[in-house]
Each structure stands twice: as structure tokens, then as C-alpha cells.
Amino acid sequence: MFTKEIFGQRLRAIRRAKKETQDDLADILNVGKSHISEMERGNRTTTAEKIALICEHYRVSADYLLGLSDDPSPK
């Protein structure tokens, strides 16, 4: 089930596992660092286009990132 909190927790964990900063991800998504911080804290989501960019960049499935699956592998 999707929640902003799960989305944020998974985004933070994936980003940290890749040793990237919030600034790094903000540059990739062309948003401010505060946008990344708000997403990771579960206060905000983002557009479908940016979710697709996140999934492509980190090579994870959208279902995993959104909390709909526990399998991070893209299909």
C-alpha cells in the first residue's frame, strides 16, 4: 500500500546506499534540495516523470519505491 512515509523511507535508503547526497539527487531531478528533504520525510511526493527518473537512475522498480512491492528489482 502506498504511503508518502514508505516512499520517503525507501528513497532515502536507496540514495544513501548509492552514497549520493540530497543535492546530487536534486540536480538529477532538477529540483531544490528542500524538495528531496520533504520527500524523504514523507511530507511530499513528486511527479510521475520524476519517479520514473528516480527508478531509472537507481535501477529500482516503481512498485518498490511506491511501497507496492518488496522486490526492488525492475522487471
Whether the per-residue pLDDT at 1 is higher than 90: the answer is: no
In this structure, what C-alpha cell is assigned to residue 66?
A: 511506491
Type of residue numbered 51? I
- The dihedral through the CA atoms of 71, 60, 21, 5 has a sign that is negative
* pLDDT tens profile 20-75: 999 999 999 999 999 999 999 999 999 999 999 999 999 999 999 999 999 998 87
Q: Where are the domains of the chain?
A: 4-65
CATH of domain 4-65: 1.10.260.40
Name the pTM for this structure: 0.93
As given in the structure block, the three cell numbers for residue 34 are: 528542500
